[in-house]
Structure 1
Amino acid sequence: MASTSSLLPQSKARLGYWLLALVALAVLAGAVYLFVGTLVTGLFLYYAVRPANRRIRSVIGSDGWAAIVTLVLVVLPLLALVGYVAFLGVQSLDALLNQSVRNLVAPYVDVGEIRSLSDIASDPEELLDRLRQSGLQGVIDWIFGAVGLLANAVVHVFLMTAVVFYLLRDDRRLAAWYRDAVGDGSPAHVLGQHVDRDISSVYFSNILFMSSIAVLSALGYSVFNLVAPASMRIPLPIVLGVLTGVASIVPLVVGKLVYVPIAVYLFGAALQNPNDLLVYPIAFTVCAFLFLDFIPLTFLLPVMAGRTLHSGLMIFAYVGGTLVFGWYGLFLGPLVLVVTLRVSQDLVPDLIRGSPVALGSDAPSPSPGERGGAAADSSDDVPSAVSRSDDTSDAD
């Protein structure tokens, strides 16, 4: 073991290099902190679309063009859908946010600012009347505010898209650099393999499960509105369907955060006129529990995910991550959990015993979902970004 004195800088020049490195790391950490939500969301999208990118790459044969095609066909339509749903939600904010929901989202979202956007989106003519009454200075202030808000959104979306693109294009180069830096088969290399495999499984299974629940929910809510009387219809079925899919990211909770309040709303509407109307909320509750909760959680999620992480820990990661970090904790929480578990399982036991750290040279075998090729990268034809060991000369 190296002595403590050998680890310290032995010359002024070397001390200067250490200080320069620390300053660079501090600047980098500050930049990452400012955009941590955008960067973490970009990382989530990368792992979510990586299996599709690997399939496209095997056909096109070019890392750069495969990344572009993946962005155009998968990432941008997904972001456009999220933006459209967000616009519909903002446009009809009062139909979605009662006081209890406002109190719930207040720590993470500026409800007052969104309320202003809701007024603009729902009644542009009223906005024009307000601007005419406020005079030239009011118009200028509003224009600068609107441009600033739009520019901020564009910057974050651009940065998020850039993160996804460069990770898709250069992941094999990054894997080769990391492997060369820490040594092929070293404990750090194998630990990176394990973390990459677990994160890929968690993130990709999440996006697949969320998408499935969102589609089922939107279709189910829309069909319910077709058969239910006007007084029993669900407001904004598409928006609430997407929100149900987003809520399903939390294990065991699935869509209860959305369809239970909808059921309460329907029962309240039915009790005002109980003549033959209670059958609708009862049927909705039963169908929602079966097709948006019990069946997906029992049969669909195990096939898609093949997870090895404890569901209780995953709930803590999602809920606790959101409470600690804010909205992006939904993506950062699982990442922190996976890294913590891997370090505690792979490194801590040997460190406590005082024995040399020795990890297996191979990444863990694919889970059942990965073997099927539908839920995550298979180690045969879609290797993970960290475990890739072939030549990277074809990267653009």
Structure 2
Amino acid sequence: MMDETEFDRSRVLWWALTAALAGTLGLVLYSYIGTFAFGIFIYYAARPIYRRLRLVVESPGLAASAALFAFEIPFLAITGYLLFLAIKELERSAGAGAEIVAWFLPVPPAELDRAIADPRAYASSFDVASITEVISTGGDVLGPVATFFLHFSLAVALAFYLLRDGDRIADWFRDEVGEDSALWLYASLVDRDFQVVYFGNIRTVVVVALLALGIYNGLNVIAPPGLKIPLPNVLALLTGAATLVPIVVGKIVYVPMTGYLGLKAIESDPQTLWFPVVVAIVALLALDLFPIMVIRPVFAGQSTHRGAMMFSYIFGGLLFNWYGVFFGPLLLIAAIHLVRIGLSELAHGDRITAEVTTAHGLGSMPQPDSVPPDETVNGSTNDATEE
């Protein structure tokens, strides 16, 4: 029979092993926090589709694959559309196209002109040194692209396994802590608000892209001759996608666009400078401030205080770089529900119970058992939002 000393020593060893493994996993998570945050975003964005598919598809793996494929189709379609238009622009105006490409790539415009004018002659003029230089330059350019797609693939893989095995993980956690425990209530509320926030980001992208589509084409109607916004449909898609970039949002698109229009107006007719100014003002108000102040907090903050959600996007981007748009709301929601369920009891030394005891209007409330899961997930039954 194990005496008390051996029992304590065994517990110390197990806790040491647990701490070592937890520290290692924490280091991995910290090193790739952007990839993990993006994977969580993809998971919650695709989960409504997955749950609908599970009603008709028996295999969880097949339903997860189909949901992720449905999520990735718009991304791949937009990327292919943009590449197609870029190639068409390059064919239509070799000189201008070469200058645009050379602005992004470390290749002289004259070299691109030669390659476009006569690809066969240009390829035959290469020697071993030239090929080596091209390979080296291509590696420098494609390296970041390959890194991006690697992290994107890892995020998709993480989302796939969360979709496929998420219900089993949730059942295991519920069995361990108990369905009537405060931990289960905390996890349920955090999960519900994550769903609302991340799925709301997707809707924000779509709405802003449609809004930009109408604004850019509408501005082209009143544009002076020869001063129209180039490729308005492409720029509208890019503006919608840019809403995922914290702080910067539409500035990535409309600032270079208005700068180009301004330079073109100065060269052709300075009296038409009013049009770039109008474009800049309309874009700032409708495609920059409006999405940050209204659209995103409404769509991605239905169950969380909209002002707090807005600041989570802003400060998340400032503190955590590009993935702050995903990680900032995650921290906010986790902190809010900790305050609502356990902080007051911890401060007063009371027992923590499975009840929301304070800050009722800051997040979603526990739903009755009769409410279907899909309705509680998308936030449609929650009326606790407080401005």
TM over 0.5: yes
Q: d(CA) in 1 for partners of 2:262 and 2:43?
A: 41
Q: Is 1:56 the equivalent of 2:71?
A: no
Letter in 2 for 1:334: P
Q: 1:200 to 1:185 in 2, by over 3 A?
A: same
Q: Aligned partners of 1:9, 1:79: CA distance in 2, in Å?
A: 59
**What percent of counterpart residues are identical?**
34
Of residues 228, 242, 250, the one that matches 1:233 is 228
C-alpha contact (below 8 Å) 1:51/1:382 kept by paired residues: yes
What does residue 22 of structure 2 align with? 25
Q: Please give the secondary structure, in 2, of the residue aligned with 1:315.
A: helix
Higher relative contact order, chain-length normalized (CA < 8 Å, sep 6+):
1
SS of 2:272's equivalent in the other structure is coil
* Bigger shift: residues 27-36 or 339-348: 27-36
Tell me which of 328, 331, 342 is aligned to 2:326: 331
Correspondence for 2:385: none
Q: In structure 2, how many angstroms separate the alpha carbons of the residues matched to 1:118 and 1:313?
A: 48
- Structure 1: which 5+ residue stretches go unaligned? 1-5, 99-113, 372-377, 386-396
Question: Does the Cα contact within 8 Å between 2:39 and 2:159 map onto a contact in 1?
Answer: yes
Aligned-residue CA RMSD in angstroms? Answer: 4.8
CA 1:354 to 1:128, structure 2 compared with 1: closer, same or farther past 3 Å? farther
Query: Quick one: which amino acid aligns to residue 202 of structure 1?
Result: V
CA distance in 1, matches of 2:108, 2:161: 35
User: Which residue in the other structure is 1:36 paired with?
Assistant: 33
Q: How does 1:354-373 map to 2 (within 5 A)?
A: 354-360=349-355
Q: Is the 8 A contact 2:82 2:234 kept in 1?
A: yes
Deviations, residues 147-193 of structure 1 (Å, cap 9, x unaligned)? 75565344323211111211122221121111112211211110111
Distance of 2:320 and 2:20 partners within structure 1: 25
Distance 1:309 1:134 in 2: 60
Residues 90-139 of structure 1: CA deviation (Å, up to 9, x unaligned): x989869x9xxxxxxxxxxxxxxx644998x9779499799847457646
In the alignment, the residues of structure 1 paired with residue 46 and residue 68 of structure 2 have an alpha-carbon distance, to the nearest angstrom, of 9
Partners of 2:246 and 2:325 within 8 A in 1: no
Q: Distance in 1 between matches of 2:133 and 2:345?
A: 66
Using the TM superposition, give the Cα deviation of residue 301 of structure 1 relative to its aligned residue in structure 2, in angstroms. Answer: 6.0
Q: Does the aligned pair in 2 maintain the 1:93–1:115 contact within 8 Å?
A: no
Give runs of aligned pairs for residues 87-166 of structure 1, distance below 5 A.
115-116=105-106, 125=115, 132=127, 134=129, 138=133, 141=136, 151-166=146-161
Relative to structure 1, the CA distance from residue 299 to residue 335 in structure 2 (aligned partners, 3 Å threshold; closer, same or farther) is closer
- Separation in structure 2 between the aligned mates of residue 320 and residue 306 of structure 1, nearest angstrom: 16
The residue aligned with 2:188 is 193
Query: What is the CA distance between 1:354 and its match in structure 2?
Result: 1.5
Q: Which moved more, 1:246-255 or 1:67-76?
A: 246-255
TM-score normalised per structure 2: 0.70
Say if 2:52 is the partner of 1:67: no
Q: TM-score, normalised by structure 1?
A: 0.69
**2:372 matched residue in structure 1:** 380
Deviation per residue, 1:313-332 (Å, 9 max, x gap): 33332222222222111211
How many residues are matched? Answer: 354
From the superposition, tell whether residues 116 and 199 of structure 1 become closer, same or farther in structure 2 (CA, over 3 Å).
farther
Give the CA deviation at 1:383: 6.5
Q: CA deviation at 1:194?
A: 1.2
Name which one, 1 or 2, has greater alpha-carbon Rg: 2
Inter-partner Cα distance in structure 2 for 1:137 and 1:227 = 50
Supply the AA of the counterpart residue of 2:372. Answer: D
Q: Give the partner amino acid of 1:380.
A: P
Cα distance, 1:359–1:12 mapped onto 2, change above 3 Å: closer
Within the alignment, does 1:205 sit opposite 2:200 as a pair?
yes
Q: 5+ residue gaps in structure 2?
A: 91-96, 117-121, 378-387
Q: Is the 8 A contact 1:322 1:330 kept in 2?
A: yes
Moved more, 324-333 or 184-193: 324-333
Which letter does structure 2 place at the counterpart of 1:156?
A: H
1:249 positional shift: 5.1
- CA distance in 2 between counterparts of 1:168 and 1:16 reads 34
SS where residue 347 of structure 1 aligns? helix
Alpha-carbon distance in 2 for matches of 1:146, 1:272: 33
Measured after TM superposition, the shift of residue 27 of structure 1 is 2.1
Q: What is the deviation of 1:335?
A: 0.5
